[in-house]
Each structure stands twice: as structure tokens, then as C-alpha cells.
Chains A and B, each alone.
Chain A
Amino acid sequence: MTDATTPPAQGFWAAFWSLANPGRFMVYSARWLPWLWLLTGLTMAYGLYKGLFVAPADYQQGESMRIMYIHVPAAWLGMFVYATMTVSALGTLVWRHPLADVSQKAAAPVGAGFTVICLVTGSFWGKPTWGTWWEWDARMTSVLVLLLIYLGIIALWRAIDEPLRAARAVAIMTLVGAINLPIIKFSVDWWNTLHQPASVFKKGGPSIHPDMLEPLLVMGIAFSLLFAAIHIVRMQAEIIDRRADRLAQRAASRED
């Protein structure tokens, strides 16, 4: 609580706490959402056009390399969404931010969706490139574990009725599961894997040709915007649902 001697929060923290009010979040998000969808659509269309029709084919893999423009952004987002959920888990347990558990609950199915896209497209890319749909190597296995963690988190939300208890249990599970993120990232360095090592985020800069890197980064931005838009809609749904829950509880207590 702020008293007369405490200076008001500035900059990022001021914005962080000003959006802590669900009512204010609903107003701002409704205003931003159409623009966010427009930006997502334009970025996605540009990225797809460049990736499918302008970028050159790979000298070794040929045209199958074009799967990279959805496989890699989906893999990034699968991990990024989990990182977002980890920050939200800290928001629930440490800062008690009123929207932290809403954000976490809304993000989990989206993260699971991106991880499924990553695994399926990786399999479709693996067959013509490696001659196999699947291999139990460290990278693929750790991404599969990420999917299982997402499914576990979604199941835990559904298993506990009381929202506060569910939020705390899920936050703890999310923090424990975060150990998998560095394992995914460094699996290709720590173990001998069929999956290739990092070619974009690595020491010494990207080793990928700029003509291929540009559409890849554009698709990465498009997927991030897509996540932001879906996440906001799911958060709105959760906030409205909780309002309805409170109203139902009030009506039930009056009847008692």
C-alpha cells in the first residue's frame, strides 16, 4: 500500500500496476485488439510471401527447408509462452499481481498449440531430410516433455475448483517445469543430437543467409503478435468468467 512518504511508482512499474485492475485491462485491451489483429495479419502475410515465394531453396535440403518458416517460430513461441507463464507464476506467488494467474491460465493452451505445431512440422521436415519422422534425441524429447508439462498444467487448472488454490499449485508446477527451458535450448550442445545446432540465436551471430533470415524473423514477429492477440482474448474470457462466478456466488449466498 502507498502512504504519504512512498513516492508513486514510475515508468514500467507504474504501467505494470495500472493494468493490474481487470476493469482497466478490459478497456485498454478492447481498444488495442483490432489493431493487434491487423498488424498480425499483415506481418504474417508478408512473412509467408517472403518465405514461400521469395527466399531461395537450400542448397542441400532443397524446398523442404521452407517448413522452417513455421517450424522455428512455433518452437520459439512454445518456449517463449512458457517463459511468459513463468513470469506470471512469479507474479502470482511473489508480487500477487491480480492478473498474473489469469495470464497464466490463458497462455497454457496457446503454448501447447504452438508446441504441437513445432513437433508436427518438425516431423514433416525430418522425413525428407533425415529419412525418419521421429528420433528420441535430446532436442525432440525435451520439446515433447514441454508439451506434456503444458498438458499437465491445463489438467491441474481443471482439477482444482477453488481459483486461488489452483493458481498457487499451477504457479509452483510452472516454476518447477521451467527447468526444461534451458534443457531444450542447450540440448543440441550438451548431447550428440540428430537435430541441428542453433543457427540464429548463437555466439558469433546467425549463420543463416540474410535472404532466409529475414522471412524467418518476420514470421517470428508474426507468431509473437498472434500469441499476444489470442492471449488477450483468452484473458478477457477468463476475467468475464470470474465476474460471472462472483455474481453466481453472491446469488447463491443470498438464497441460503
Chain B
Amino acid sequence: MMFGPHSPYIYASYGVAAVIIVLLIAGAYRSRAAARRRLTDLERLEGGQ
């Protein structure tokens, strides 16, 4: 193992941090995409009336 006997702790730390960071980024883009979809739908509805 690359970092000796402490490797599992190091891998686990970096792994957990990576997962949380990916979730934060994905969550931000997902909520922006959902908001855009909602706005587009409402604008389309508005335009149709």
C-alpha cells in the first residue's frame, strides 16, 4: 500500500471528501437545471395564453 499501514485511513478520508464534493457539485447543477426547466415551462404556458 502506497502510504504504509495508515493507507486505509488516508484512502477513506480522500474518498469520503471526493464523494461529498461530487454530491455538492451535482446537487447545485441539478437544482439549476430543475429551476430552468420550471421557468421554461411557465414561460411556454404564459406564451400560449
Which A residues have a C-beta under 8 Å from some C-beta of B? 62-64, 66-67, 70-71, 74, 109-110, 113, 116-117, 120-121, 124-125, 127-128, 226, 230, 233-234, 236-238, 240-241, 243-244, 247-248, 250-251
Inter-subunit contact B17/A226 (CB<8 Å)? no
The SS class assigned to the B binding surface is: helix
**Can you pick out 16 interface pairs between chain A and chain B where the beta carbons lie within 8 Å of each other?**
A62-B4, A62-B6, A63-B7, A113-B24, A117-B17, A120-B13, A125-B13, A128-B6, A233-B28, A234-B28, A241-B31, A243-B39, A244-B39, A247-B39, A247-B42, A251-B45
Q: How far is the CA of A71 from the CA of B39 in the complex (A)?
A: 39
Whole-angstrom distance between the alpha carbons of A25 and B20 in the complex? Answer: 27
Chain A residue nearest to B36 in the complex (CB): A240
Q: Give the number of residues in B that approach A within 8 Å (Cβ atoms).
A: 32
Cα of A109 to Cα of B21 in the assembled complex, Å: 11
Residues of chain B within 8 A of A74, CB atoms compared: 17
In whole Å, how far is A114's beta carbon from the nearest beta carbon of chain B? 8
> Contact residues of B with A, CB < 8 Å?
3-7, 9-10, 12-14, 16-17, 20-21, 23-25, 27-29, 31-32, 34-36, 38-39, 42-43, 45-46, 49
| Beta-carbon contact of A230 and B25 below 8 Å | yes
On chain A, the residues within 8 Å of B3 by CB distance are 63-64, 66
How far does the Cβ of A240 sit from chain B's closest Cβ, in whole Å?
A: 4
Chain A contact surface mostly: helix
Are the CB atoms of A121 and B21 closer together than 8 Å?
A: no
